[in-house]
Amino acid sequence: MKKKIFLNKNIKSLLIHPNSLTLYRIAAVPGIVILLLFPNRICSFIAALLFSAAAITDFLDGFYARRRGLISNFGKAMDPVADKLLISSAFIMLTSYGWIPAWIVCIIIGRELAVTGLRNVIAEKGEDVSASSLGKYKTGFQIAAIIPLLIHFSYFGINFHAIGAIFLWAALILTIWSGADYFIRFRRLLQM
Domain locations along the chain? 2-190
Mean pLDDT of 15-32: 81
Calpha distance 34→20 (Å, rounded):
22
Residue pair 130/65 in contact by the 8 Å Cβ criterion: no
Max avg pLDDT among 5-14, 47-56, 63-72, 77-86: 47-56
Amino acid at 94: L
Calpha distance 101→108 (Å, rounded):
11
Instruction: Supply the pLDDT for residue 2.
Output: 55
Dihedral pair phi/psi, residue 17, rounded to 5°: -65, 140
Instruction: Supply the pLDDT for residue 16.
Output: 58
pTM: 0.82
The CA radius of gyration of the chain, in Å to the nearest whole number, is 18
Residue 159: strand, helix, or coil? strand
Instruction: Supply the pLDDT for residue 116.
Output: 83
Instruction: Supply the pLDDT for residue 7.
Output: 46
2-190 is classed in which CATH architecture? Up-down Bundle (1.20)
Evaluate if residue 57 carries a pLDDT over 80: yes
Percent of the residues in the chain that have a pLDDT greater than 90, as a whole number: 47
As a residue count, the chain comes to: 192
Cα–Cα nearest to 179, from 98, 115, 83: 115
Helix (H) or strand (E) segment spanning residue 72: none
Q: What mean pLDDT is reported for the chain?
A: 83
Instruction: Supply the pLDDT for residue 80.
Output: 78
Mean pLDDT of 81-92: 92
Residue 158 bridge partners (DSSP): 155
